[in-house]
């Protein structure tokens, strides 16, 4: 149902996009620093799961719904802004803690947070609707199945890249976690990153 040559064209384009730093990569990096490699892998898996939800909705015709009801995009955007600001506040609250004694984020929670970060990012919706349909051939039928195949390729590549970044960060984090000064600065930097991402989402032009 998917032309092999089309898939070969899609794969390197998807990999290039996966290697571009963004909210998902920064989130995985932060989880690696805070909670170690398992949480980083779980966060990247959650991000991929969220991405597959976007792909499925797009395949079912979300593009037509968003075009007809622009307020839907706006609602999703502001949910994303609120969640990122909440993450920023949580990071600031931990600046006085020694990261070596702070409880690590559990694997299920890291997965959940990763999925929520992806699901509430309207840029992912726009990207899914703009990028994947270029490779879908309606004449082959099973449009949803084609969306899922391309989404799986994109999601798998993103999971590998984000997990690798998080694991590398967790290795660095083990050497620096005993420094209270580093813990405070890390919390502030993380809060700044989440706040900047929230601002970026808030300033996105209306669909």
Domain spans in the chain, listed from the N-terminal domain onward: 32-202
52 — pLDDT class (breaks 50, 70, 90)? very high
* C-alpha–C-alpha distance, residues 160 and 72, integer Å: 31
Residue-wise DSSP of 134-189:
GG--GGGS-HHHHHHHHHHHHHHHHHHHHHHHHHHHHHHHHHHTT-HHHHHHHHHH
Backbone conformation region of residue 61, classed left if phi is above 0, alpha if psi is from -120 to 50, else beta: left
% residues pLDDT > 70 (the chain): 73
Is 48's pLDDT higher than 80? Answer: yes
| Across 169-174, average pLDDT | 72
Q: How confident is the model at residue 179 (pLDDT cuts 50, 70, 90)?
A: low
User: pLDDT higher for 38 or 78?
Assistant: 38
pTM: 0.68
79-112 pLDDT per residue, tens: 767 877 887 787 777 644 344 444 567 899 999 9
pLDDT in tens, 109-147: 999 989 988 888 776 776 777 677 777 777 777 778 888
> Which pLDDT belongs to residue 142?
77
Average pLDDT over residues 173-187: 63
CB neighbour list of residue 160: distance below 8 Å, 6 or more residues apart: 18
What was the pLDDT predicted at 2? 80
pLDDT in tens, 12-35: 878 877 877 677 888 888 888 888
Residue 46 pLDDT: 95
């Amino acid at each position: 149902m998917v032309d092999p040559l089309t898939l070969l064209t899609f794969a390197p384009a998807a990999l290039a996009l996966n290697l571009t730093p963004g909210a998902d990569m920064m989130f995985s990096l932060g989880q690696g620093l805070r909670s170690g490699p398992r949480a980083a892998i779980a966060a990247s898996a959650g991000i991929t799961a969220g991405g597959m939800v976007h792909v499925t909705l797009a395949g079912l015709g979300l593009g037509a719904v968003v075009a007809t009801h622009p307020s839907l995009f706006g609602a999703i955007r502001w949910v994303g802004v609120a969640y990122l600001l909440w993450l920023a506040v949580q990071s600031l609250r931990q600046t006085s803690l020694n990261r070596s004694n702070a409880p690590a984020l559990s694997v299920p929670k890291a997965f959940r947070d990763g999925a929520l970060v992806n699901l509430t990012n309207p840029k992912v919706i726009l990207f899914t609707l703009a990028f994947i349909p270029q490779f879908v051939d309606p004449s082959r039928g099973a449009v949803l199945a084609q969306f899922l195949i391309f989404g799986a390729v994109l999601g798998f590549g993103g999971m590998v890249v984000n997990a690798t970044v998080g694991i590398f960060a967790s290795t660095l984090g083990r050497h620096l976690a005993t420094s209270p000064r580093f813990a405070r600065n890390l919390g502030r930097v993380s809060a700044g990153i989440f706040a900047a991402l929230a601002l970026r989402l808030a300033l996105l032009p209306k669909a």
